[in-house]
Amino acid sequence: MSLAARTGILAIGNLVYRLTQTLTLIAVVRLVSPEEVGTYRQVWVLYNSLYVFFMLGLPGSTYYHLAAAEPGRHRRFLRQTSLLLAGLGTLFAGGLAGASTVLPVSMHNPALRATLLAICPYALFSVANSYTYPALVVYRRSWFASGVTVLSSLCQLLVTVTVLSLGGGLVSMFLLLGVVSAGFLSLSTWLVWSRVPPSSAPWAERPLAQQLRYAVPLGLADATTTLQGQIDKIVASLFYLPAFFAQYSLGAVPLPFITVIRSAVFSVLLSEVSARRAAGEIGQILTIWRAAVRKTALIFYPLLFGGLVCAEALMSTLYTASYRDAAIPFRVYLGMLALMVYPASSVVLALGSSAFQFRVNLAGLALTVGLGALLVRPLGLVGPALGALAALTVVVFLQLRHISKELDVGVIELLALRTQMGPLLVSAIAAVPALGVAQFHWNVAFSLLLQSATYMVVYVPLLWLTPALSSGDRDQLRSMWAKLRGAR
């Protein structure tokens, strides 16, 4: 199977996984009270914030060490990694149990104690299982890696809907998720170890210190990046009661496929820029940069302006009219798309500046916490989201400055304003008639459908009839359309 095919399979699995998570959240909102929704979101925010720290970068190191090691050394390396992660999973579960005595008071939610204790088994088995996905990828079992990911998310959806529909409550739901995660640990372990060659090397062929030297910096960088996306919600949970926090946490999330798109761009640019830098082809790096910005803008700008118009209808349709105010932080989060058109993180890492990236992430965390705590009382729901937006703005600016120094080009050139001006203007103009449609008070689902259709009816012809699309883009689209017709 080709590299492109394997990448596509993993990307599809990741997208289905994220969409299923969204469906799970939609189901929870409809099955429990706003207070319980707030508790549910608090548990997952805390879990997601700490999960990456306790993995210590070991799953990421599996990609590198397993691919580089001789086949005879795989078994002992995987055994070492699995034992380490099992120990770290136990620490993670113990940490959540310990936090259950403190955080319910800090987050104004006594019900948080029982739910944090209930998720401990799930936390243990999830961390212990985290090495199997990269191992399956290295062994080129992409279908299995993607399939297990999708199946686990579907099981989580099924368990959540079944337990809450029967009135079992959040505690029972999290306990049953722990049982399911134990089953997936067994399945994934069998899938990996059935492909591991027999051992022919001593235990110390891949010493623990060597593995941790690679894994820990990688894990810290991943952890700070993950925490940067969660810290505003933690700040909000310290000031809001659970029902009010539910409004914020439902809106303060990126669209599911944004992460998938950014991950694909990240992977491609990381390898391409690294190769061009090694060859001294700075001009080619700038060409790749501008192309990445333009093509990302073609996707992100319509999502930005269309989302700004449809926000209230979208939140009401997904989460019911009771959560209409979730549109407030959602609109602020959409503003981040204007910054996400710049693939700055991947280029910084491709330039070998991982230490700089780590420092910038820490600065972003500090700014998000400080600004969020400062703005939450005077501005309410929008405060922590504005703090996160301002922090991301500073982070992207610092990254662009660093890239400009490394490549000896101006920051203005990296902004590529002329390159993205066409998609920006077309996306903004298409929002005007959709905004007019939004002024009529119809059924929210019908209103969302009509607003979206109006936007696309205007956006697509404008995109095709204006210079927003390059000649190369048009040729690619014609080629894709011809292939689709030929496939029929």
The Cα–Cα gap between 453 and 92 comes to 46
Whether residues 190 and 313 fall in one domain:
no
User: What is the per-residue pLDDT across 188-219, written as a single tens digit (0 to 9) for each?
Assistant: 999 988 877 776 555 444 467 777 877 787 78
Residue 101 and residue 163 in one domain: yes
Residue with tokens 């620490």: 91
Calculated CA dihedral for residues 343, 344, 348, 350, nearest 10 degrees: 10
pLDDT at 1 over 60: no
The answer to whether 149 and 93 are in contact (CB under 8 A) is no
- Tell me the Cα Rg of the chain: 23
Residues 56-88: tens digit of each pLDDT: 888 877 877 777 677 777 888 888 889 999 999
24 neighbors 155 (Cβ within 8 angstroms):
no
Residues 446 and 313 in one domain: yes
Task: Determine the average pLDDT of the residues in 26-50.
Answer: 92
How wide is the angle at C-alpha 430 spanned by C-alphas 427 and 431, nearest 5°? 90
The total number of structural domains that make up the chain: 2
DSSP 3-state of 443: coil
Looking at residue 430, its pLDDT comes to 92
253 and 182 co-located in one domain: no
Of 428 and 381, more confident:
428
pLDDT at 229: 81
> Residue 107: which residues within 8 A CB-CB, separation 6 or more?
42, 237, 238, 242
| Same domain for 235 and 214 | no
Identify whether residues 339 and 400 lie together within a single domain. yes
Q: What is the structure's pLDDT at 206?
A: 47
**Residue 256 above 70 pLDDT?**
no
pLDDT at 175 over 90: yes
Please check the confidence at residue 154 and state whether its pLDDT lies above 80.
yes
* pLDDT on residue 204: 44
State whether 200 and 331 are in the same domain.
no
Q: Nearest-5° angle of CA 155, CA 157, CA 163?
A: 95
pLDDT tens column, 223-238: 887 888 888 898 888 8
**Which one has a higher pLDDT value, 423 or 208?**
423
| Per-position b or e across 181-201, b if 16+ CB within 10 A of its CB | bbebbebbbebbeeebeebeb
Query: Would residue 156 count as lying in a domain?
Result: yes
Within 10 angstroms of residue 381's Cβ, the number of other Cβ atoms is: 23
Contact 389, 332 (CB under 8 A): yes
Q: How confident is the model at residue 95 (pLDDT cuts 50, 70, 90)?
A: very high
Picking from 220, 254, 275, the residue at the C-terminal end of a domain is 220
Range scoring the smallest mean pLDDT among 16-30, 150-164, 193-207, 386-400: 193-207
Give the whole-number percent of the chain exceeding pLDDT 90.
36
Residue 386 lies in a domain: yes
Both 316 and 397 in one domain: the answer is: yes
pLDDT tens digits, residue range 346-405? Answer: 888 778 777 788 888 889 989 999 998 899 888 888 889 999 999 999 999 999 999 999
300: Cβ contacts below 8 Å, ≥ 6 apart: 258, 337, 338, 340, 341
How many other CB atoms sit within 10 Å of the CB of residue 45?
A: 21
Q: Are residues 156 and 121 in the same domain?
A: yes
pLDDT, position 37: 93
> Does residue 426 lie within any of the structural domains?
yes
For the chain, give the mean pLDDT. Answer: 85
Instruction: Report the distance separating Cα 233 and Cα 248, nearest Å.
Output: 8
Check pLDDT > 60 for residue 2: no
CB 208 within 8 A of CB 80: yes
Burial 228-264 (b: 16+ CB within 10 A, else e): bbbbbbbbbbbbbebbbbbbbbbbbbbbbebebbbee
Contact indicator for 310, 326 with CB cutoff of 8 Å = no
Give the closest residue to 230 by CA, choosing from 398, 378, 51, 97: 51
Q: Is residue 488 part of a domain?
A: no
Per the structure, the complete domain to which residue 148 belongs is given by: 1-220
Whether the pLDDT of residue 411 is over 70: the answer is yes
Residue 189 belongs to some domain of the structure: yes
Query: Which of residues 220, 239, 258 is at a domain's end?
Result: 220
Domain end residue (candidates: 178, 198, 220): 220
Higher pLDDT, 204 or 181: 181
Distance in angstroms (rounded) separating the CA atoms of residues 459 and 457: 6
Mention every residue, 6+ apart, whose C-beta is less than 8 A from residue 281: none
Query: In this predicted structure, what is the pLDDT of residue 12?
Result: 81
- pLDDT, one tens digit per residue, over 110-143 is 999 999 999 999 999 999 999 898 888 888 787 8
The answer as to whether 4 is a domain residue is yes
Identify which has the larger pLDDT, 437 or 67. Answer: 437
Shared domain check, 304 and 199:
no
Give the C-alpha separation, 15 to 98, whole Å. 34
Report the range of poorest mean pLDDT among 23-37, 156-170, 442-456.
442-456
402 & 304 share domain: yes
Question: Are 324 and 419 part of one and the same domain?
Answer: yes
pLDDT computed for residue 207 by the predictor? 67
